[in-house]
Structure 1
Amino acid sequence: YIIIEDPFETTVGEKPGELRVFLKDDLTTPKMQRMTDPGARLEMVGILKELHRRLNGRKTKQLDIYLECNYFKPVEIELEEIEITKEDEEKIKELAKNPNVYDILINSIAPSMYGLREIKESLLLQLVGGVPQVLPDGTRIRGDIHILIVGDPAAGKTQLLKLVSKLVPRGRYVSGKGTTAAGLTATVTRDEEFMGGWVLEAGAVVLSNKSIICIDEFDKMSKEDQINLHEAMSTQTVSISKATIQATLPAQTAVVAGANPKLSRFDPYRPIAEQIDIPDTLLSRFDLKFILRDIPSKERDENLVDHVIKSRLAEDEIKPAIDPEFFKKYIGYVRKNIKPKLTKEALAVCKNFFVNLRSKYAGEEGGTVPLTLRQFEALIRLAEASAKIRLSDKVEKQDAERAIRLMKESIKQLGYDPETGKIDIDRAEGGVTSAKRSKIRIVMEVIDELEKTVGKTIPIEDVISALEEEGIDEHTAENIIRELKNKGMLFEPRSGMIQKI
C-alpha cells in the first residue's frame, strides 16, 4: 500500500508526503482489508525500514524507507457507519416529524451563500440518495444522484462545491484543470521495491466510494478524461485492465460537477452542448442540471449585498440551522436505515408527468422529445430520497411532486428552446434540438432535389439560395452545412462545391 499525508495538515503549498507500507499476517485478513479500502484515513504504527531501490530489476545503492506496519486503526469512518447514540436517534426522529424538516436541512447547506434554493434542495436529496437495486438478471440500478451546475464566472460554483464536499465523511473536492482520468478513476504503476510487479492505485472517484465527489472546472478536463467517467457514473464501477492487473473497483459515488460556458457568459439562445466541453453521452448521465447566472437586478443585488454584510457583522445570523456534526449523523442514519418502497400513488404521479409531457408535442411537426427513460429513473431516485428525509418507509405523492418540481426546474433552465417556445430535453442533454433537426432535414431535402437537376456536385451558393426560399437565412444555412461536413454527411470535392457522402 501507499499512504499519503492528509493534504489539510500540510504547510500551504507543500506536496503531501508519501510512504510505502507493508502489511502481513493478521493485517491482511478480509476484515482488515475492508478497513484499508482506497480512500480510508488511518493511523498506523510500525517500524521504519530501509529498502534498496531497483533499476531494471537490479538493486542500486540508493535507499528508500518503508513502514512495516504492526497496527492500524481507521480515523474516519464511512457515512453509513457514523456512531449514533440512542439520544442522537431520538433527536433525528424528532426532527423528521417537524413539518419544516426540509427547510431546516436545506438551510444547513452553505448558509453563507445567498439563495440557490432549488440547487441546495437537490444537493440535500443527493446526499441521502435513492435506493439502489439489483435486478434478477444481475443488472444494478444506481441510487446515487448526479448533478451538474453550469454558471457564469463569480457565480459561486467553486465555493458551493467546496462547502458540499465537507458535509459528509470521505467527500472530496477536485479541480478538472489538474485532473486526469487516472487521477479520477484508477491507474497502474510499477512496484519494483516490494513485489517486483504492478500496483493498482485508486483515483478520486474510487476514493470517494459511498460518499460524494465535487469536480470543479469539469469542462476544462480533456475529452478522453471525461469519457473515462462514463462507467463510474453509470454502473458505479471502475474497471481497469493493464499489464498484469485486471480489476473492477467500486465507485458508488455521487458526482457534483461545476462547469463554465466556453465564452465566459452563458448564452440562453444556444444549446448547452455548444457552450461547455462535455460529451453528450456524459451530459445525459446527470440527473439534474442547473444554471447559475449573474444577471444584474437591483432587488437581488441588494439582498445579496445585505447577506454578505450579515456574514461579516452578524455571524450568528448565517449559522447552519443545525450543527454540522448532527447534520452528518442525520444523513448517515437515513442512508443506513431508511429504504422506502414506491407506492402506487407516487408511481402514478411520476408516470402521468412522464407520459403527458412526452405526448404533449408528439403530434406536431418537428415535435420535441421532452423526457427520456433516463429522466424517469432520475425522478424515481429523487422521490425516494425525498421520502428518506422524512424517515418514511413509503414514497408518497408529496415525494413524487417534489421530484417533479426539481426536474421541471432543471429542464426549464436548460431545455427551453427559444426558437419554438417549447421545452426540449435534447437541448438540456446536449443533443440536437427539435428545431435544429427540422432545419437539418430541410437542408438534406434541398440537396436531394438539387442533385436531380445539377448533379451530385452542387455549388454551395445554389444550396443557400434554395434554403433562403425555405425560410432559412444564409448564416444559419452556412452553419448547418459546416456542421454536416464535420459529421461526415457532406464534403467539399473542390472549393465552393458540396456533395453527399
Structure 2
Amino acid sequence: MRAEHQDITERLIGFLRDYYREEVAQLAQHYPQEQRSLHVRYDDVFRFDPDLADDIQEHPREMLEYFEEALRLYDLPVDVSLSDAHVRIHDLPDDIVLDVAEVPRKENIGKLLGIRGQVQKVSAVKPRIVEATFECQRCGTQTDILQTGDQLDEPHECQGCERQGPFRPDSSASTWTDHQFARIQQPPERTKGGEGETIDVHLEDDLIQSFDAGDRVTLTGILDTEEPGSNQSLDFDTTVDGQAVVREESSYDDIDISEHRDEIEAIAAGEHGDPYDLLVQSINPGHEGHEVVKLAIALQLFGGWSRGGQTRGDSHLLLMGDPGCGKSTFLKAANDLAPRSTYASGKGATAAGLTAAAVADDFGDAEWGLEAGALVLADGGVACIDEIDKVNDNVISSLHDALESQKVRVNKAGINATLNARTAMLAAGNPKYGRFDNYEPIAEQLDLGPTLMSRFDLMFMVSDSPDKETDRGVVNHQMRSRRAKAKKELGKELTEEERKSIEPDIPHQTLRAYIAYAKDEVTPYIRAENEETQEYLREEFLKIRLANADEEDNPVPVTYRQEEAIERLAEASARVRLSDEVRREDVDRALTLVRKSMEQVGIDPESGQFDVDVVETGQSKSQRDRRKQVLAIIEDQDGTTAEEVAEIIDMDEEKIRHDIDSLKQNGKIYETRGKLRKS
C-alpha cells in the first residue's frame, strides 16, 4: 500500500513538473501571505493521465492529499516549505458540472463535482480550529488533537501522566483557519417559476469572501452528508465542502450564442423584415395591442451601454392600469425572455426581498448572514416586480438608491457590504382606490411618491376603457389564440393569423441569445463626429423641457434625468441593430416613447393639457393652485366646512372634499367639532 501511495505521489510530482513548473515557482514566491493555493485545471490532469483524472473525481479527498504531498515534496527553486498549501482543482468537464437541483443525489456523495448557481446568502467569517492543543492541568503536558467534526474533540487521557484530564485548550498553540458558509441557489431564470432549490457550501482558508450574495459562480466541491440528529432519521441532509470557486465574468455564460449567431445577424440586418416590428410581435404575442408598451419592454431588455458599470445603462419601466388589464402578462413575458431575471410581488415584500439585508442565519454556526433580494439576484438582467403599489414605505425607501446607483448597501449587525444591482426594473402597479379615476392625475393615484416615480424612465397606462372597435379586436384575438392552441395540441395545421396569435416572430431561445449577444458585444454611443444626431437630441430635449415653461407660475421643468433616459433608450435601439453607433433614427425612437409616456402620465384631467408638474410631482398645476386656494379660505375663516369652501370657490363639492382629504393626510389642516382649521 505504501509503495502504491509513493507511486501516485511521484506521478503527481511529474505532472507538476511538466505542466505547472512556473505556477509552483510563483506560489513559492508569494506563499503564504499573498497566495496559499495552486489552482489546477482538471483538463490538464486528464491530458497527463486519464486514470489520475478519474481517481480525482471518484476519490477526491485521498487524491487531494496525494496532490498536496506532491507539492510539499516538489524540488522548489527557493528555500520555502509549502507544507500547508492547497491544491484546488477547477474547470471540470461539462458532464460533471451540475445545476444546484441535480447535486444532492446518492450517486454524487463523496464525488468531486462542479456546481453552477447563484449565491443567495453568505455568512460572516469566523475562525475554526483545525488542530487543537490541550494542556493537562495536572502535569502540564500538551496534546494535539486533529479536529474532524463539528464538535470539539478532547484527549481521552494525558500522554504524560496518563490521567483523564482535566484539560484546558491552549488557543495560542492551536492551529486555526478562517471559514464561512454560503447558500447557492438555482438561478431564478432556470427555476421555471417559484423558489429555486438551494445547497449549502462550506468554505475555508483562502476561499472565504470569494464572492458576494447575488454573484453567479461555478464552484468545485465534494458532496458530503451531514450527521443525522438525535432522532436517528434515515434521511440525511447534504452539504458541499468547497474546493475551488470561479466567479462568472460574462453575464450570459449559460446561453449558447454561437448556435443562433447567423439568425441573430440576419434579424438585425433586416433580412426578415423590420427588426423592431419583429420584436414588438415577439413580446407577449398573446396580448392584443399596446405596441408602444411592447417596444418599450423590448428596448428595456436590450438596455443601454453602462460603460463598464460607470453609468446606468438600464431603463426602468412602470406599467399602470386597472386590475385585470394584462399588466402581469407583460411582466411574465419579460421574465421568460430576459437572459437573467427575477419575478417578485410587492405584496408582503421585505427590503431583503427586493434589495438585500443582513438576516439571522439558519445554517452553519454564524449568527448573521447577507441575503440577496430580487434586484441583486437579477444583476445584469430584469427584475419584474408586480403590485409595486403594495410595497410598504420602508421597502420603497430602500429602492431609491438601488434604482439610481444600481448598488445595494447593507450596514447591519457588523455586516458592511455593497452589492451590485445592475438591473432594469419592470414594475406594475394598480390605483390606490381600486380603479383609476379619470378626473385625478394618474401619478397621484399610484401612491408611490414622486421620488420613486422619478426613477422610472418610462411610465405607461395599460387601460381597460370600453371601446367598441378596440374591444372587438381584443375578443377576436383571444378567440383566435385559444383556437390556435387547441389546433396545435391536436397536431392540426394553423393559418398564418392563428400562428401569429400564439407564436412569436423571433423564437424564444433565439431572442434570448439575441439579447445576450447584444448586451455582451455591442457598445453603442453618440459619436463626437455625429454632430447632426447630437444637435437633434439636444434641441428635442430642450423642447420637452421648456414646453410647459411659464415665467409667472414657474412650474417644475422636466429634469436632466430625462435626457439620460432618452440616451439609454437610443443606445438600446442601436443594440437591436447590433450597431456601436447611435443614429438619429434611434434618438427618434426613444423620443417617441418618452413623449408617449409623458402624455399618458402628465395629462392634467381638469384642463386636458400636458402638465410637467404631474410627471415630476404627481400633482397638476391646476390642482395645486386650487388646494392653495382651499388652504387660504380655511385659514381666513378659522373654522369652516367643506360645503362652505365649495360654495366660496363655486366648484363641485366632491372635488373639494378630495382636496381636503389630501391636505389632511399631509398634515396641513385638521378637523375638530366638524370645523376645518389650518395646522
Provide the TM-score with structure 1 as the length reference. Answer: 0.83
The aligned runs of 1:439-454 (5 Å cut-off) are: 439-446=626-633, 450=636
Measured at CA, do residues 220 and 42 of structure 1 come closer, stay the same or move farther in structure 2, by a change above 3 Å? farther
Higher relative contact order (CA 8 A, sep 6+): 1
Residue 284 of structure 1 corresponds to: 454
Contact 1:145–1:255 (CA<8 Å) still a contact in 2?
A: yes
State how far apart, in whole Å, the 2-side matches of 1:11 and 1:469 are: 60
Measured at CA, do residues 475 and 266 of structure 1 come closer, stay the same or move farther in structure 2, by a change above 3 Å? closer
The aligned runs of 1:397-416 (5 Å cut-off) are: 397-416=584-603
Give, as a single letter, the amino acid of the residue that structure 1 aligns with 2:499. Answer: D
Contact 2:634–2:640 (CA<8 Å) still a contact in 1?
A: no
The aligned runs of 1:92-491 (5 Å cut-off) are: 92-98=264-270, 100-133=274-307, 140-191=310-361, 194=364, 196-311=366-481, 312-313=483-484, 314=494, 316-317=499-500, 318-342=502-526, 343-363=530-550, 366=553, 369=556, 371-429=558-616, 431-446=618-633, 450=636, 458-461=638-641, 465=644, 468-491=647-670
State how far apart, in whole Å, the 1-side matches of 2:249 and 2:332 are: 19
Measured at CA, do residues 172 and 482 of structure 1 come closer, stay the same or move farther in structure 2, by a change above 3 Å? closer
State how far apart, in whole Å, the 2-side matches of 1:188 and 1:61 are: 33
Give, as a single letter, the amino acid of the residue that structure 2 aligns with 1:436. Answer: Q
Give, as a single letter, the amino acid of the residue that structure 1 aligns with 2:318. Answer: L
Contact 2:351–2:395 (CA<8 Å) still a contact in 1?
A: yes
Contact 2:189–2:335 (CA<8 Å) still a contact in 1?
A: no
Give, as a single letter, the amino acid of the residue that structure 1 aligns with 2:391. Answer: M
**Alignment RMSD:** 3.6
Comparing 214-223 and 303-312, the one that deviates more: 303-312
Residue 19 of structure 1 corresponds to: 199
Measured at CA, do residues 444 and 263 of structure 1 come closer, stay the same or move farther in structure 2, by a change above 3 Å? closer
Residue 46 of structure 1 corresponds to: 222
Comparing 350-359 and 277-286, the one that deviates more: 350-359
Residue 66 of structure 1 corresponds to: 239
Comparing 319-328 and 366-375, the one that deviates more: 366-375
Q: CA deviation at 1:70?
A: 4.6
Aligned length: 477
Give, as a single letter, the amino acid of the residue that structure 1 aligns with 2:406. Answer: Q
Instruction: Identify unmatched segments of 5+ residues in structure 1.
Output: 54-58
Question: What's the secondary structure of 1:200's corresponding residue?
Answer: strand
Over alpha carbons, which structure has the higher Rg? 2
Give, as a single letter, the amino acid of the residue that structure 2 aligns with 1:149. Answer: L
Give, as a single letter, the amino acid of the residue that structure 2 aligns with 1:376. Answer: E
Contact 2:461–2:600 (CA<8 Å) still a contact in 1?
A: yes
Measured at CA, do residues 102 and 192 of structure 1 come closer, stay the same or move farther in structure 2, by a change above 3 Å? closer
Give, as a single letter, the amino acid of the residue that structure 2 aligns with 1:495. Answer: R
State how far apart, in whole Å, the 1-side matches of 2:563 and 2:191 are: 45
State how far apart, in whole Å, the 2-side matches of 1:83 and 1:164 are: 19
The CA deviation string for residues 450-473 of structure 1, in whole angstroms up to 9 with x for no partner, is 3xxx7xxx1215x97577444444
State how far apart, in whole Å, the 2-side matches of 1:351 and 1:476 are: 40
Contact 1:387–1:395 (CA<8 Å) still a contact in 2?
A: yes
Give, as a single letter, the amino acid of the residue that structure 1 aligns with 2:666. Answer: K
State how far apart, in whole Å, the 1-side matches of 2:438 and 2:255 are: 44
Q: CA deviation at 1:115?
A: 1.7
Q: CA deviation at 1:144?
A: 0.5
State how far apart, in whole Å, the 2-side matches of 1:321 and 1:71 are: 43
Measured at CA, do residues 411 and 78 of structure 1 come closer, stay the same or move farther in structure 2, by a change above 3 Å? same
Contact 1:384–1:395 (CA<8 Å) still a contact in 2?
A: yes
Instruction: Identify unmatched segments of 5+ residues in structure 2.
Output: 1-181, 485-493
State how far apart, in whole Å, the 1-side matches of 2:253 and 2:650 are: 59
Question: What's the secondary structure of 2:358's corresponding residue?
Answer: strand
Contact 2:549–2:557 (CA<8 Å) still a contact in 1?
A: no
Measured at CA, do residues 12 and 337 of structure 1 come closer, stay the same or move farther in structure 2, by a change above 3 Å? closer
State how far apart, in whole Å, the 2-side matches of 1:10 and 1:431 are: 38
Comparing 483-492 and 174-183, the one that deviates more: 483-492
Measured at CA, do residues 414 and 131 of structure 1 come closer, stay the same or move farther in structure 2, by a change above 3 Å? same
Give, as a single letter, the amino acid of the residue that structure 2 aligns with 1:361. Answer: N
Give, as a single letter, the amino acid of the residue that structure 1 aligns with 2:222. Answer: G
Comparing 264-273 and 358-367, the one that deviates more: 358-367
State how far apart, in whole Å, the 2-side matches of 1:249 and 1:24 are: 22
The CA deviation string for residues 242-283 of structure 1, in whole angstroms up to 9 with x for no partner, is 111100000000000011223332222212244224232111
Provide the TM-score with structure 2 as the length reference. Answer: 0.63
Residue 35 of structure 2 corresponds to: none
Comparing 481-490 and 292-301, the one that deviates more: 481-490
Give, as a single letter, the amino acid of the residue that structure 2 aligns with 1:23. Answer: L
Contact 1:48–1:65 (CA<8 Å) still a contact in 2?
A: yes
Q: CA deviation at 1:477?
A: 3.7
Q: CA deviation at 1:74?
A: 9.1
Q: CA deviation at 1:24?
A: 3.9
Residue 56 of structure 1 corresponds to: none
